[in-house]
Every structure is written in C-alpha cells, then in structure tokens.
Amino acid sequence: MKTYSMKLDEIAKDWLIVDAEDVVLGRLATQVAVFLRGKHKPTFTAHLDMGDNVIVLNAAKVKITGQKVEQKVYLSHTGYMGGQRVTTMKKLMEKHPEDVIMRAVKGMLPKTRLGRKQLTNLRVYAGGEHPHGPQQPKIVEL
C-alpha cells in the first residue's frame, strides 16, 4: 500500500482563536506552532503549508513563569559596528506584548521558507478584540 500525499488544491484551512489569558507562554507557543504547521490534522504533509490560520487574543495577559520577565533578553543587530541592541522581556511586554508571542512561536517553527510562510498565518492581538469576524473562527481551548 502506498502512502498518500496531499495535493495543494486539497488543503482546507480553518481559522482558530486561542485565548492567551493566564496560559503559560511556552505551552501556548507549542500549541500554536502545532496548529500553524498542521500537525494536528491526520492528513499532515511535511512539505506543504497545511496549517490553520491562528488568532491569539489577550497577549498582554499571558503568564510568564520564573524570573524570565527580568532576566530574559532579546538581541538584535543593526548591521553596523557596535549595533547590537538588547531589549528585556519586561520592556517588550510593556511596549509590544504581541512580539513576545510571535518570537516564541517563530522559534518553534522550521527555519526555512515554509516556516516563514507558516508564520504569516499567525495574528496576535494584545487585547480581546480582533477584526476577523467574517472568517467565522472557531474557539480552541488550551
């Protein structure tokens, strides 16, 4: 018996809503990464974008355990000499809480063209409102 491989025109994408309020950041990121890759579907095919579109709400209310709020740092570089920039998780949570979840999920996706394409299916909002009502998203409990 041959193994069945999905075709591009057979892929059905859903819209899912995940509420991040009082959910531990790492556990949230792993579940969202699974939904984005499509590994929760029985027809998962590794080389295709099988995943669903995921909306994460209440990013500002995500639970961060331990001392990560004070100790975790995010590094970036401008490309110029001495251009390394350091941002703590505390500052990032105050200014852009969406970026904390985006960076956590990005680290759990493949570092390929496919992984970058799958990350575009993630929408993160700091509050409880989103503009994706016409897509009729389904609520997922974590």
Question: Does the residue 48 lie in any domain?
Answer: yes
Question: Does the residue 1 lie in any domain?
Answer: no
Question: Does the residue 70 lie in any domain?
Answer: no
Question: Does the residue 71 lie in any domain?
Answer: no
Question: Does the residue 105 lie in any domain?
Answer: yes
Separation in Å, CA 54 to CA 14, 77, 85, 92:
8, 29, 30, 22
Q: What is the pLDDT of residue 86?
A: 97
pTM of the model: 0.92
Q: Which structural domain, as residue segments, surrounds residue 27? A: 14-65+95-140
Question: Does the residue 36 lie in any domain?
Answer: yes
Residues 6+ apart with CB under 8 A from 126: 58, 59, 60, 97, 98
- When divided into structural domains, the chain yields a total of 1
Question: Does the residue 102 lie in any domain?
Answer: yes
The CATH number of residue 136's host domain is 3.90.1180.10
Mean pLDDT of 65-94: 97
pLDDT by residue (tens digit) across 29-77? 999 999 999 999 998 999 999 999 999 999 999 999 999 999 999 999 9
Question: Does the residue 9 lie in any domain?
Answer: no
